[in-house]
A and B are shown apart, each in its own frame.
Chain A
Amino acid sequence: MRHPVLATQEFWAGALFVALGGASMAVARHYDIGTTMRMGPGYFPVLLGAALILLGGASCVRTWLAGDGTPIGPVQVRSVLLVTISAAGFALLLETAGLAAAVFATAFLACLGGRNFRLGESLAIAAALVVFTTLLFVYGLGLSVSIGPPGW
């Protein structure tokens, strides 16, 4: 089954890399590039950025010419966002609210991102994880975090 080029992985991957390559070159251009014999800090990044643009561009072109590629699968926006937020939430909460709060929030948010969210089950998982991680990491392995808000 032929897919339109704009719906293929290869095309968008290529486009992504072109963008990333361009961005890196834009940032790296401020670093001293130097010469091939005495490379400066900017040499490699600029080179790599250029390589990315080339490779990405080639992928786009090749897909265009072939007119076909692998389709992109369905995207679960809610799951992705919630998983990312729950991990970020951990970073935010750990030093401000303590391990227990961070673990609970992270676990609960992660469950929220799941396909079949069940409130009772999620709360139970979160609570169990708080207990388990506290025992394992703080008491067992000696990780230096405060369980509750700092100073508690």
Chain B
Amino acid sequence: MKPIRYACLGLIFFALGIGAASAQQAPYPDRTVKVLVPYNPGGATDIVARIVLDEMRKSLGQNFIVENKAAAYGIVAIEEVARAKPDGYMLMIGNISTNSITPVLHKNEMHINYEKEIVPISEIASISNFVLATGAFPANSLKEMIDYVKAHPGQVKYASVGVGSYPHIDMLMLMKATGMDMVHVPFAGGAGGDLMANLVNGDVQVGILNVASFGPIVRAGKLKAFAVASKMRQPDYPEVPTMTELGFPGIGSENWQGLFGPAGLPKDVIATLRKALQDALKTQHVKDVFASNSITAVTGGTQEQFIQFVRHEGERFTETIRDAHLVVE
């Protein structure tokens, strides 16, 4: 080939090389990030995701769009994220149910190895749960409720948002620790009035359910709250004691949400995401919304701590799930 051709080729390669190098230099994120939410729009996790991602969009300058993929207890979303390229443009915001319980309960149905392929990035927020009873229930404290149930074995009914959901498993743990015997009445999870109506009118008598949705009904006097499962008393409901105070430190879950991604994410991407998330949680708007809805932001901590936390949550449920033969074949 003539020398001039060699020169042109060389220039082209040189330019490409510079281009490639600068592409690598481009700060993350440099285009839209897709965040999967394994719930239909409107649920607690979805709301938290949308508010926080909106703030992150402002601080990082790129769009973070929510894609709702509500199928299969989160399995579909988890698998999609696991298979994605670990470049930080496909993430998911999941919660205790999808990212701690599902991997245990539905281990045999997932086509990926959850532990190895999904990496927790940061915790975002958590919503506590009340131990609730219908307004007409003949008890006014957790102890009275336990006594009543033990005096009427098999007659009191408790609600949950589905077989294998954390309200179900939590109640199983509480029943085991106290010797209560109650009938489980599962309801379809998600938004919709069925569970609330049944609890309020007394067809179902008790349940461990979230503060955000059920708190206002307690306020209105139609439901009673005997205990709250969180580290400290809820600021909006200071009269409700914590499970720890009442002597049940390990029982009762908080519905926490967290950001997750595929394994192998570069360290700087993780750092950027964590910082943006923490900043978002500190903005006034997010604080206001969380405060008025009993959502607690979780700030501080390290990624390693979150990873341990997620793993520990899964372990917490494993024994109860096994005892209750809930694992799906």
Q: Is B65 an interface residue (CB 8 A)?
A: yes
Number of interface residues of A (CB under 8 A): 2
Q: Is B34 an interface residue (CB 8 A)?
A: yes
By beta carbon, the residue of chain A nearest B32 is A144
Write out, one digit per residue, whether chain B residues 17-41 have a CB within 8 A of any chain A CB (1) or not (0).
0000000000000000010000000
Write out, one digit per residue, whether chain B residues 250-288 have a CB within 8 A of any chain A CB (1) or not (0).
000000000000000000000000000000000000000
A144 to B67: give the CA distance in the assembly, Å: 7
Scan residues 121-152 of chain A and give those whose CB is less than 8 A from a CB of chain B.
142, 144
Interface of B is mostly: strand
A142 to B32: give the CA distance in the assembly, Å: 13
A144 to B65: give the CA distance in the assembly, Å: 8
Q: How far is the CB of B49 from chain A (nearest CB, A)?
A: 14
Number of interface residues of B (CB under 8 A): 3
Give chain A residues whose Cβ lies under 8 Å from the Cβ of B65: 142, 144
Q: How far is the CB of A133 from chain B (nearest CB, A)?
A: 19
A13 to B67: give the CA distance in the assembly, Å: 41
A144 to B34: give the CA distance in the assembly, Å: 9
Q: How far is the CB of A44 from chain B (nearest CB, A)?
A: 16
Q: How far is the CB of A95 from chain B (nearest CB, A)?
A: 10
Scan residues 21-74 of chain B and give those whose CB is less than 8 A from a CB of chain A.
34, 65, 67
Give chain B residues whose Cβ lies under 8 Å from the Cβ of A144: 34, 65, 67
By beta carbon, the residue of chain B nearest A151 is B85
Give chain A residues whose Cβ lies under 8 Å from the Cβ of B34: 144
A144 to B37: give the CA distance in the assembly, Å: 13
Give chain A residues whose Cβ lies under 8 Å from the Cβ of B67: 144
A24 to B7: give the CA distance in the assembly, Å: 71
A142 to B34: give the CA distance in the assembly, Å: 13
A130 to B289: give the CA distance in the assembly, Å: 41
By beta carbon, the residue of chain B nearest A145 is B67
Give chain B residues whose Cβ lies under 8 Å from the Cβ of A142: 65
By beta carbon, the residue of chain A nearest B66 is A144
Q: How far is the CB of A141 from chain B (nearest CB, A)?
A: 13
A125 to B77: give the CA distance in the assembly, Å: 35
Q: How far is the CB of B312 from chain A (nearest CB, A)?
A: 32
A142 to B67: give the CA distance in the assembly, Å: 11
Residues of B within 8 A of A (CB): 34, 65, 67
Rank and list the top 4 A-B pairs by shortest CB-CB distance, nearest first. A144-B67, A144-B65, A144-B34, A142-B65
Q: Could you pull out 4 A-B pairs where Cβ atoms are within 8 angstroms?
A: A142-B65, A144-B34, A144-B65, A144-B67
